[in-house]
Structures are given as C-alpha cells and as structure tokens.
Amino acid sequence: MESAIIGLVGVVARLNKRLIKLADRLGQAPSSSIPEACHGKAEIQGAYRLFDQARAEKRGLGWEEVLAPHLARTERRMAEHPVVLCLQDTTELDFNGQEIDGLGRLSYEAQRGMYLHPTYAVTPERLPLGVLDAWMWSRPLDLSESRRWIEGYERVAERAEQLPATRLVYVADREADLLLLMQRAHALGHPADYLLRAQHNRCLPQGGKLWPAVLAATPLGEIEFTLPERSKRAARRVRQALTARSENLPDGRGGLMAVTCLIARETSTPEGQKPLEWRLLTNRGVSTLDEAAQLIDWYRCRWEIETLFHVLKNGCRIEELQLGQIEKLELALSIYLVVAWRLAYLVRLGRVHPDLPASRVFDPLEWQAAWILAEKPPPQKCPLCAKSSAASPCSAASSPAKATANPASKPSGRALPSSIASSEALNRCKRFMLYELCGMAWDQRPNPPMPGSMPFMPRISLPMPPLENCFIIFCVCSN
C-alpha cells in the first residue's frame, strides 16, 4: 500500500510510512497521548520526527498537504448528493499552561491557544460527508479574522463550479453576517447559496430597519418541530411563525442586490422558557411556507459542526496534545479532523437508520468490541446498528447530556484490549482509515491485495453515500 500512495500526500516514502503507522496507533487509542498510543521508544521518536517535518528548517510539511487527500475524497462524496450543506464555524483550542511556540491569546488575555475554522459538509439528512476546507491560526493574524468567512464562501463556490449536479449551500452563524460576504457572493453570481443567521438590524435604502420591515409582512404560516435536549436544557416542542421578505442592500459596486430575510418567531412559549427566534439571510427567494420551512431545516443542521468540535475536544482530546510548536499541532489536527468526522459519521448512521442490522456495517468481532469496551456482555443475536453505536463510548462525544445520564457511555479514554486490538477484523478496518487519509477508495487498493485484506464490500442500497466500512477501530475505542 505504501508504494501506491507516494505522491498522494506529497512526501517521501519514509514519511508516508510514519504517517501510516501513526494513524494506525492513534486508531487503537485516539484519546491517549501520542507516547501512550505508540508501541515503544522507536515509534515514539518516529511520530515526533514526523511532526518535526513541519519546521521550516526541515521539510516545511504543512497540514494542507496531509489533509488534501481527504478533501478530495469529501468532494467525491458530495457529488453523489443533490444538495450538500457546507457548515462553517470557529472553535477555540485552549492550550493554556503548555509550552508551545506560536500560540496567541484567546477570548481572554490570560488564555493561550489557537483557532480552528473548518468547512464541514453534511447532507440535509445530517449525514456527515467530510471536511471540505479549514483555517488554523493564532493571534495576532496579519489580516482581518473576518476574512475566513469570505474566503470560506469562495472555496465553497469553487467546489460548486466543479459539482454542477450538486447544489451547495453555505451555512453559518451570526459571526458570518458580513455585508462583504454577501457582496462577494453576488459578484460571483451565487454559484453556491448562502444561509446566514443575521446579527445586524441593517438600515434599508428607503429608510427604516430590516427586521421590523420583515415582521410587517404577512406570515407564510407556522412550523413545528422538537428542539433536542442540550446541556442544562430539556427537549421540548417548538412552534414558530415564519415571515420572509426580500430587500435590497448595497452591492458594493454602486448598485443594489436582493437579499431575503426570513424570521422564525416562536409562538406559545412555555412558561420559564426563552422564546426561540431565528433571523436568517439568504440569496434565495422565499415565497411559500415550504420554501421557508426548508431553509429552517437546513439551518438547524448547523449543529452538526458543533458535534464535530465536541468529538475533537472531548473524544480525541486534542487540547491535551503537547507538540512544542503550533505547526506540529496543525499536522496533528489534520489527522484528528478525519478521525472526528468518521466518529460523527457512525453516530449519525445509527440515528438515520436505527433498524439497519449491525452486520451490514461490521463484522461480528467489530460490533462485539463495542459492548466489551462499554463493559457490557455482547448480545447473542446481531443487534441493530443504532444499538451498536449507542453501546460505544463514541456516542458520548455527540450527546454529552446522555453521557452524564448513562455512565456506561462516558468516554473511557482507554485503548481496546490487546486481544481485540490485534484481531484481523479490526486491523482490516484500520486500513480503511489509512486509505481515506491517502485519498483512495477501498476498491482502488493496490493489486494484489495486502495479506489478510478484506474483499471489496458492495455498496449498501440506502439513501446515503457508499459506506467504505466504518473503521470501528476509531469508533469503539475512541473517546
């Protein structure tokens, strides 16, 4: 396999081997420290030498080069769907108290760390497709930090031109409410739609403010949905009245551009609860209740990127990495972003298709490992996929409230028992992860197959991308 992937990550064979071995070890214990995950002094030295290649006086290996194969694979998965939501958000990575060169202040002067700003591709059914783009930086930054939102849209627009059969929708929260972003989308001809949560009650060219003008229009109707439980908040039913209106805003070139503002305002709020109100901006016209409801559904999918951040921080424990330099941290993050995506993929698969037999995804040793790791006896009959993923500690990474209520699902921070980690079934699944890092589908593996390799799995006939086998080595032993 090593000889077949040279050039895909753009480094020499020796570094390829180190990258593969490190991904292999982190697959066995992704929540462990790097020395704990490696087997012996030689592997520890090899792992740190790999990260040392990020130094300018060495090879200057960038995280973009390591993550590039995964970005290409994400784009291929996106091409299989009519609509893909490109979610963007920023999270702080707090390394306070660690001696790491290149870190800067965070929200507070006393905090030291860096920022991560990925673009996360998901379907409207919330099935994660992978990471599409990323920004990593520390303060101070040579250019305006708001530039990340505009450039993020530009990268999505570039993908839209390469995927003519797939409609891309850029979705972001209030920090992305930038007139410059909307003007840039207008100048490009809106190759990708945008859906932003409004932060500013803008002045209108004809006078007055945007939000009162929208609320003065006749409501399109009402929608109802269940607001999921979050930390310190129980699940509840929400009923919202939807009102939309298109207004003209300056296009930055002396003219005007049409922007639709959609306001979803909760009615009949339960006593003691804060009314749920969303104000959204989009380039799309909205004239019917169905069109407005679809945009609300798409905006609600934005929470999936918060799940990705939660898996990164609490499952992979990336804020505990001690690598000495920010460039080395960025290389590690490029690997852990792939790990976190696949964990989220498995959890969502169990929720979207709860009746899917685990045997359609895992070998017997694989789904039994989830119960063993959760310190439960494996069932005699093959369970459903949702139960297999629920038994895994990785379920706690996406549902902290449930993890608190169910101690068995809390992150264990342990590697698989050696009797399981050494099994051929799990070793084969780890290779799927390595192929993802190298930008290769399993059916593109070198011939002849590697010793002990698994025959190509046929695609699952479900409304989802082809399942390149969930590599359980990351799913059941992580977190």
Q: Can you spell out the DSSP letters for 96-160?
A: TTS--BT-EE-SSTT-EEEEEEEEEEE-TT--EEEEEEEEEE-SS-SS-TTHHHHHHHHHHHHHH
Which of 122, 113, 114, 185 has its CA nearest to residue 149?
185
Asked whether residue 220 carries a pLDDT value surpassing 80, the answer given is yes
Find which of 41-45, 132-136, 327-331, 401-405 is predicted with most confidence, using mean pLDDT: 132-136
Residue 433 is inside which H or E element, if any?
Answer: helix 424-437
pTM given for the model: 0.76
The rounded distance, in Å, linking the Cα atoms of 371 and 367 is: 7
Amino acid, single-letter form, for residue 145: E
| CA 137, chain centre distance (Å) | 18
Q: What angle do CA 369, 405, 392 make, to 5 degrees?
A: 15
pLDDT digits (tens, 9 = 90+) for 241-277: 999 999 999 888 888 999 999 999 999 888 888 899 9
pLDDT of residue 367: 66
Q: Report the first-to-last Cα separation within the chain, whole angstroms.
A: 28
Q: Are 102 and 141 in contact (CB under 8 A)?
A: no
What tokens does 114 get? Answer: 């860096």
Q: For residue 452, give the DSSP letter.
A: T
Per-domain boundaries in the chain? 64-308
Condensed to tens digits (0 to 9), the pLDDT of residues 36-94 reads 778 778 777 777 777 777 666 676 677 788 888 889 989 999 999 999 999 999 999 99
| 64-308, CATH topology level | Transposase Inhibitor Protein From Tn5; Chain A, domain 1 (3.90.350)
